[in-house]
Chain A
């Protein structure tokens, strides 16, 4: 029983972090109808930026995350503004191809700069654990979970209540109508992508503090984001949260009861089952459900 509870706690903690990994992917898909295959590469890039700040400046990764977010935001903004915006009105196949190419480029670039070796961002405290009734709660994971959940909730609030959030939502629903309101859609798209990469980067840094990463991990993060986004309901940010937690639990329980390779299959099994009963995802329709094209 303790083993099961331990797995559950571990799964929830991991799930919160996975939610932050995926929420930007879901945002970009929802607002721009772009399935960003390079998303996972930005997660790993964020981990490397955090790692670099830690190794060369000795910056604590949980503080360095602020800089990681800024750096990744600027990169994301530029990538959307000067690259993806060029084809964003085209068929989804084109954006798939472009972001796929971008992922190859980023991963290969990171292989060259950082090598393919596994890295992690060490801290003096992340490994310490609080023990509650025989269940271990590692501090680093708890901190990552709380930050990830906090940031996701903050994102939802920003979307609903600020000028920038409103312009992003409106552009996601009907780009043409939003432009007729004077909202500069290209800028909004770039902002959206920048926010998504900033969140991915922060998630990546935290992944680096609780585990290991290398450039090749990018694909796995993209795939997970894809599954979580669809699970929760596309473009729905709370949905990404629910999807992330569920995915964390599934992985932890699967790991507890099944042997290694079954865990990934289980994740997809859950996806198929959820979609069978709730085709629009667990949390349901997102704000852009009635999207108008053109």
Chain B
């Protein structure tokens, strides 16, 4: 469904991504892990059109989306839950969700509330005053309002307690099963590789390992570098 081939991208004169290949199939959960500064966020930005792609190509559902505008890529069915969540802080949960459905005029919030029932009690609360976990739920729910074929989530666990992370990550399988593939960028490598079917490991802007998530989880190099197992 998503096919990334030889993508190079960066900021100004600095090139961050070098020749990145990656694929995501329909209804699949794919994890993207790597140390700080590896370029994970930059890759998601390049895929959603926030950072220009210098070389290589991105194909989504058979259409070449390289160099398309952010809005056009959203139209085609890629939703990006950005690093830091970027909720509209002065607006309520409900308004944030409605904005998530702005493009396809989707006002049916029940579907995403079923996924995150906690949000149902907070619909009229201003998102700026919610806990980090609730904000992340709201951000993902907002990202799902457009009924995307692919949702890319950056740093799902950032600043959250482990129980909350577990709760949210537990919903990813439901999201994938309902027809939205997930590309998950995550610091918590253990959690990410457990929920994902396949995974990519990035270091200094390059994909250095990829494959079945279970196999990677058992790989001694991964255990040593990311899981602190000697």
CB-based contact A182/B71 at 8 Å: yes
CB-based contact A163/B102 at 8 Å: yes
CB-based contact A176/B50 at 8 Å: yes
Type the 1/0 row for A139-173, where 1 means its CB is closer than 8 Å to any CB of B: 00000000000000000000000010011011001
CB-based contact A166/B50 at 8 Å: no
A292 to B83, CA, bound (A): 13
Q: Within 8 Å of chain B (Cβ to Cβ): is A86?
A: no
A290 to B104, CA, bound (A): 26
Tally A-B pairs: CB < 8 A: 66
Q: Which of B34-42, B88-96, B156-164 contacts A (4 or more CB under 8 A)?
A: B88-96
B115–chain A nearest beta-carbon distance, Å: 18
Q: Within 8 Å of chain B (Cβ to Cβ): is A60?
A: no
Q: Within 8 Å of chain A (Cβ to Cβ): is B206?
A: no
By a CB distance below 8 angstroms, the chain B residues around A173 are 88-91
A292 to B89, CA, bound (A): 10
By a CB distance below 8 angstroms, the chain B residues around A287 are 90-91
Residue on A with the closest CB to B139?
A177
By a CB distance below 8 angstroms, the chain B residues around A273 are none
Known: A179-B71, A180-B80, A182-B71. A166 touches B90 (CB 8 A): no
Q: Within 8 Å of chain A (Cβ to Cβ): is B173?
A: no
Q: Within 8 Å of chain A (Cβ to Cβ): is B10?
A: no
By a CB distance below 8 angstroms, the chain A residues around B88 are 169-170, 173-174, 177
A183 to B71, CA, bound (A): 6
B125–chain A nearest beta-carbon distance, Å: 15
Interface residues of A (CB under 8 A from B): 163, 166-167, 169-170, 173-174, 176-185, 287-290, 292
What 8 A-B pairs have minimum CB-CB distances, sorted nearest first?
A182-B103, A182-B74, A177-B86, A290-B89, A179-B70, A184-B71, A173-B88, A181-B102
A–B pairs, 20, beta carbons within 8 Å: A163-B102, A166-B98, A173-B90, A177-B82, A178-B99, A179-B74, A180-B48, A180-B70, A180-B74, A181-B74, A181-B99, A181-B100, A182-B102, A183-B99, A183-B103, A184-B71, A185-B71, A287-B90, A289-B90, A290-B128
